[in-house]
Amino acid sequence: MARSPALVDLDPLRARGRIAFRYRRQATGLPVRVARAVERRLRPGAAPGAGLRYCRARPEIVSLLNELAQQLTQEHGDARGALWLNSAVRSQSHQDHLRSLGYSALDPSSHCTGYAADITVRHPARRGDDEAIAAALNDILQRRQNAGELNVIRSGRVWHTCLAPAEIPRLRARFDAEGGVN
């Protein structure tokens, strides 16, 4: 799935200003891994998660995350740049690896089809209003779940979100209207 033509690359979208949420790549080389280990020790919570293993996502997920980030900023003015994508598409082998490490990585997973995303908000080490922003995001997600737009499972500071099938055409149309695939 990670190399599927149904996915779009996030980096070019970010470079063109088409992404309203934040993410970072998973460290791959030893120097970056060491630097991140030092960062975690010196500034715990400075950045959420290890980063994306695959910086690709379905266009519908990109649209959903952009909507959530924009809605969060509208409802909580200090939330600009607060929404972080921790995980989107996963290969089955990566899902199996996460499960072997003790994470709640179910099989089958909507991550393996590209219709799920794990999101969080910036951490208190970055800004002082984090708990209010997290509460605002939780409220937005609950309203959208109640409206049948998505399914949400909260796990600590992370929300596992999965698109409702009925929302896929609307979100794809939004992505296409905003410039299409990269």
Greater confidence (152 vs 54) lies with 152
Q: What is the pLDDT of residues 93-107, one digit of tens each?
A: 766 666 677 666 666
| DSSP H or E segment with residue 117 | strand 116-121
Q: Nearest 5°: phi and psi at 162? A: -135, 130
Cβ(116)–Cβ(88) below 8 Å = yes
Q: What is the pLDDT of residues 107-143, one digit of tens each?
A: 667 767 789 998 988 654 455 567 888 889 999 999 9
Greater confidence (40 vs 66) lies with 66
| Distance separating alpha carbons of residues 98 and 116, to the nearest angstrom | 16
